[in-house]
């Protein structure tokens, strides 16, 4: 309780608080995380299926996995953790969210300033002409969805072997440099370069508040306050203290 109160006080008096979120925040919405997960990721090794080379060379095979993922994402709804972060933006406690998730749940919860560090699965991009389509514009039952130009359509998410979109990278860096508080929620902090942000923030004196069901590589090294528990529960408790 003491730690929760201290974290709430830090958020309340922050000048520029931001959140860095990962797959863990969406687990309670029914989307499994990569690590320590069940279901989809046991069937499909994400490092094999989510690599750009795999997609380009075996699009039909990768689209089988993508269709299953799409079904899961279509059904998912924001959980209380997403809703609390959206409310904090409206109440001016939170300035931005840098998310590694591609599930659109922060936006669905009402958050506006969401930096999509790994893209968004509700858009598709043509690998040949770069045209962007909304997911609903495309018939995903085709074994390999194609653009009218003949190019392969790929979810507009960052696969292994691809670069972070430059705009997201610049926006994220600016937010990290400006922040005096960073909430790190549901990320194992094992995927670069997003996992460098807590270290960067800490370097210029920001307070790091971490929420996770398990300690991570950050917990001992950079985290100031570790709040162990499910994102929805911990964030709801924090919100009640603000
Ligand atoms: P990760 O799978 O590496 O780690 C998830 C973390 O969440 C773990 O540390 C775990 O202990 C924690 N966690 C699990 N359930 C939780 C809960 N209820 N509350 C709080 N914490 C919980 O996820 P990552 O660090 O985001 O990296 C995986 C990569 O895969 C990301 O880059 C992301 O783009 C992608 N991914 C996205 C989604 C999504 O969009 N929802 C889902 C899976 C993977
Ligand atoms: Zn095209």
Clarify whether residues 236 and 145 are in a common domain: no
Q: Tell me, what CATH number does 188's domain have?
A: 3.40.50.1220
Q: What is the pLDDT of residue 39?
A: 60
Confidence of residue 34 (pLDDT cuts 50, 70, 90): confident
Q: Which domain holds residue 202?
A: 1-30+78-118+164-242
Provide the annotated active-site residues: 118
Question: Is pLDDT at 38 greater than 90 in this prediction?
Answer: no
Question: Is pLDDT at 139 greater than 70 in this prediction?
Answer: yes
Query: What's the whole-number mean pLDDT along residues 171-190?
Result: 97
Q: Cα(23) to centroid of ligand 1, in Å?
A: 2
Q: Which SS3 state, helix, strand or coil, does residue 14 take?
A: coil
Clarify whether residues 68 and 96 are in a common domain: no
User: Is there an atom of ligand 1 within 6 Å of 81 CB?
Assistant: no
Domain count, the chain: 2
Please state the atom number of ligand 1 nearest to the C-alpha of residue 216.
9
Q: Tell me, what CATH number does 130's domain have?
A: 3.30.1600.10
Clarify whether residues 124 and 113 are in a common domain: no
User: Is there an atom of ligand 1 within 6 Å of 21 CB?
Assistant: no
Burial class (CB in 10 A: 0-12, 13-18, 19+), 64: middle
User: Is there an atom of ligand 1 within 6 Å of 102 CB?
Assistant: yes
Measured by CA distance, the residue closest to atom 15 of ligand 1 is: 24
Eight-state DSSP code of residue 163: P
Clarify whether residues 129 and 215 are in a common domain: no
């Amino acid at each position: 309780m003491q730690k929760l109160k201290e974290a709430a006080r830090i958020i309340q008096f922050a000048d520029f608080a931001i959140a860095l979120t990962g797959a863990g925040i969406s687990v309670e919405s029914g989307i499994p995380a990569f690590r320590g997960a069940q279901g989809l990721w046991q069937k499909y090794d994400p490092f094999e299926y989510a690599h750009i080379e795999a997609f380009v060379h075996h699009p039909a095979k990768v689209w089988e996995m993508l269709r299953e993922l799409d079904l899961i994402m279509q059904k998912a709804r924001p959980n209380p953790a997403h809703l609390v972060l959206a409310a904090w933006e409206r109440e001016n406690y939170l300035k931005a969210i840098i998310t590694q998730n591609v599930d659109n749940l922060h936006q669905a919860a009402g958050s506006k300033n969401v930096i999509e560090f790994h893209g968004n699965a509700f858009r598709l991009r043509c690998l040949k002409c770069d045209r962007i389509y909304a997911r609903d514009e495309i018939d995903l039952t085709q074994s390999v969805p194609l653009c009218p130009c003949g190019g392969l359509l790929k979810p507009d998410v960052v696969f292994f072997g691809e670069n972070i979109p430059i705009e997201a990278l610049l926006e994220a860096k600016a937010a990290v440099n400006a922040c005096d508080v960073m909430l790190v929620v549901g990320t194992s902090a094992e995927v670069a370069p997003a996992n460098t942000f807590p270290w960067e923030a800490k370097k210029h004196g920001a307070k790091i508040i971490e929420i996770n069901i398990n300690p991570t590589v950050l917990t001992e090294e950079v985290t100031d306050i570790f709040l162990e528990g499910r994102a929805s529960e911990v964030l709801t408790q924090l919100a009640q203290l603000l």
